[in-house]
């Protein structure tokens, strides 16, 4: 099994390198797409800056995981293993910080910007509805104003026709006072009714801006031109919301209601006799009390409307694609998972190699180094063994005896340096002697060559 695992590691070594290179290249490409939206300046500066940054990211990722794949599977010391695991964790965090979020920006940048535009659009729609409701709230006072005006007008008619208040019919002081109060309230009601058309017109204008913004959010094509057009529509819509805030008739109703009681001047009774004038003064006092009560009711209703929280339209803040991806990260978790997986997938390969090498050491005896010897190691060991045999005196004597030469005699004591006794069956051999051969001389006394 250990042999098969080693063969598998050797076979997949090229595949591992190619896979790591492809992942590093893919991370670099998406990093380039993400960082391009962060840089400002001319096109050349943006291009070269993005290229240099993405190349640095690719090289760093490839080198980091190559180091771990090379060293981590062979480390057996627990302390060293913990150190490498800590290094892998720190490196993974750094890779996410310098590359993964830019990869996510490249994968989901346009969708994140569309999400930002959609959320902003929803906020503007709520602001428009709130301003419209506040502006229409004053319209709820119109029925009360009209009813009060009609009530004074009816009393005036009844006093004129039958003398219902003073007991004497005709158009006198009371009738004039009641008609005056009815006319003031009728004028206030007309102002409130007129403001309704203005509010309606502004609301329709704001609705058109919202419709244009919705079309920009859902349209296809590059996101940057759509975001610019969206910003223009947002500015116009904010102006409409502010106009609706100023169109509310509630402040005018409050001022008119206060003036209704404060500016009330009781007319002088003009009756023919003292009894009639007394009755007229009594009715005028009653009308004054009714006017004050009506003024207080209208003023309180206007205060309730003015007490509402005013709508403050939000200012549209454009975002870059990386900023949008970070702000709406929860909405794009799959894109984040894919971006991080591109950078951290080699960690799985590292763990696989660690597990495989652990299995190899488990099935082999860790004390026998021959289990991990290569062919070169074996040849070197054989050469060392031959050199050791050559250096052995006994072995040299055997080699010399086999070659027919006299081995170098080891130093022995004098009494032991004697010729060996011949074997009984071995023929006697004469010892060689130092004999100098004679050579004939030439005519000049020199030896012949």
- Per DSSP, the residues of 225-248 read HHHHHHHHHHHHHHHHHHHHHHH-
The terminus-to-terminus CA distance of the chain in angstroms comes to 76
pLDDT band for position 446 (cuts 50, 70, 90): very low
Decide: pTM greater than 0.75. Answer: no
Question: What pLDDT sits at residue 22?
Answer: 93
More confident position, 227 or 152: 227
Per-residue model confidence (pLDDT) at position 90? 94
Encode pLDDT of 253-275 as tens digits. 777 777 766 655 455 455 555 66
Q: Is the pLDDT of residue 93 over 90?
A: yes
Check residue 58 and give its pLDDT: 93
- What are 123-175's pLDDT values in tens digits? 888 888 888 888 877 777 777 777 877 877 877 777 677 666 665 666 666 67
> How is residue 187 written in tokens?
């004028």
Is a pLDDT exceeding 90 seen at residue 21? yes
Return the closest-CA partner of residue 357 out of 38, 23, 35, 2. 2
Element (H, E) at 285: helix 274-306
Tell me the three state secondary structure of residue 74. Answer: helix
Residue with tokens 């079309």: 215
Tokens of 96: 């996410």
pLDDT score of 445: 47
Q: Taking a C-beta distance cutoff of 8 angstroms, is the pair 69, 349 a contact?
A: yes
Q: According to the model, what pLDDT value does residue 59 have?
A: 94
Do 332 and 108 meet the contact criterion of CB atoms below 8 Å apart? Answer: yes
Task: Kindly state the percentage of the chain with pLDDT values over 70.
Answer: 77
**Over the chain, what is the mean pLDDT?**
77
Cβ–Cβ under 8 Å, residues 285 and 266: yes
Residue 57 is predicted with a pLDDT of 92
pLDDT-derived band at 221, boundaries 50, 70, 90: confident
How many angstroms separate the CA atoms of 129 and 278, rounded? 55
């Amino acid at each position: 099994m250990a042999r098969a695992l080693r063969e598998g590691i050797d076979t997949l070594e090229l595949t591992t390198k190619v896979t790591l290179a492809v992942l590093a290249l893919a991370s670099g490409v998406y990093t380039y797409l993400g960082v391009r939206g962060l840089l400002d300046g001319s096109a050349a500066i943006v291009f070269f800056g993005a290229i240099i940054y993405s190349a640095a990211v690719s090289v760093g990722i490839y080198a980091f995981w190559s180091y771990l794949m090379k060293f981590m599977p062979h480390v057996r010391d627990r302390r060293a293993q913990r150190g490498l695991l800590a290094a892998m964790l720190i490196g993974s965090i750094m890779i996410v910080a310098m590359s993964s979020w830019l990869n996510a920006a490249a994968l989901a940048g346009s969708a994140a910007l569309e999400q930002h535009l959609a959320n902003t659009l929803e906020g503007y729609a709520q602001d428009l509805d709130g301003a419209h409701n506040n502006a229409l709230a004053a319209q709820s006072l119109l029925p009360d104003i009209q009813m009060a005006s009609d009530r004074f007008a009816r009393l005036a008619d009844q006093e004129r026709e039958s003398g219902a208040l003073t007991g004497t019919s005709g158009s006198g002081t009371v009738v004039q006072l009641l008609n005056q109060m009815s006319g003031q309230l009728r004028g206030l009601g007309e102002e409130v009714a007129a403001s309704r058309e203005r509010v309606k017109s502004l609301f329709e204008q704001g609705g058109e801006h919202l419709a244009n913004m919705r079309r920009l959010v859902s349209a296809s094509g590059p996101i940057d031109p759509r975001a610019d057009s969206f910003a223009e529509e947002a500015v116009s819509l904010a102006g409409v919301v502010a106009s609706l805030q100023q169109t509310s008739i509630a402040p005018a109703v409050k001022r008119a209601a206060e003036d209704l009681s404060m500016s009330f001047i009781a007319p002088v009774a003009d009756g023919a006799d003292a009894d009639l004038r007394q009755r007229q003064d009594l009715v005028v006092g009653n009308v004054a009390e009714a006017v004050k009560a009506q003024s207080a009711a209208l003023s309180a209703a206007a205060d309730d409307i003015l007490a509402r929280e005013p709508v403050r339209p939000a200012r549209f803040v454009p975002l870059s694609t990386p900023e949008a991806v970070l702000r709406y990260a929860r909405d794009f978790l799959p894109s984040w998972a894919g971006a991080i997986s591109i950078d951290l997938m080699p960690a799985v390969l590292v763990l696989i190699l660690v597990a495989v090498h652990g299995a190899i050491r488990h099935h082999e005896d860790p004390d026998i180094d021959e289990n991990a010897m290569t062919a070169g190691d074996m040849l070197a060991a054989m050469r060392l063994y031959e050199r050791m045999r050559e250096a052995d005196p006994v072995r040299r004597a055997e080699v010399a005896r086999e070659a027919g030469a006299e081995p170098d005699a080891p130093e022995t004591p004098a009494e032991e340096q004697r010729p060996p006794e011949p074997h009984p069956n071995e023929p006697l051999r004469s010892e060689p002697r130092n004999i100098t051969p004679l050579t004939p001389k030439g005519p000049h006394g020199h030896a012949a060559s």
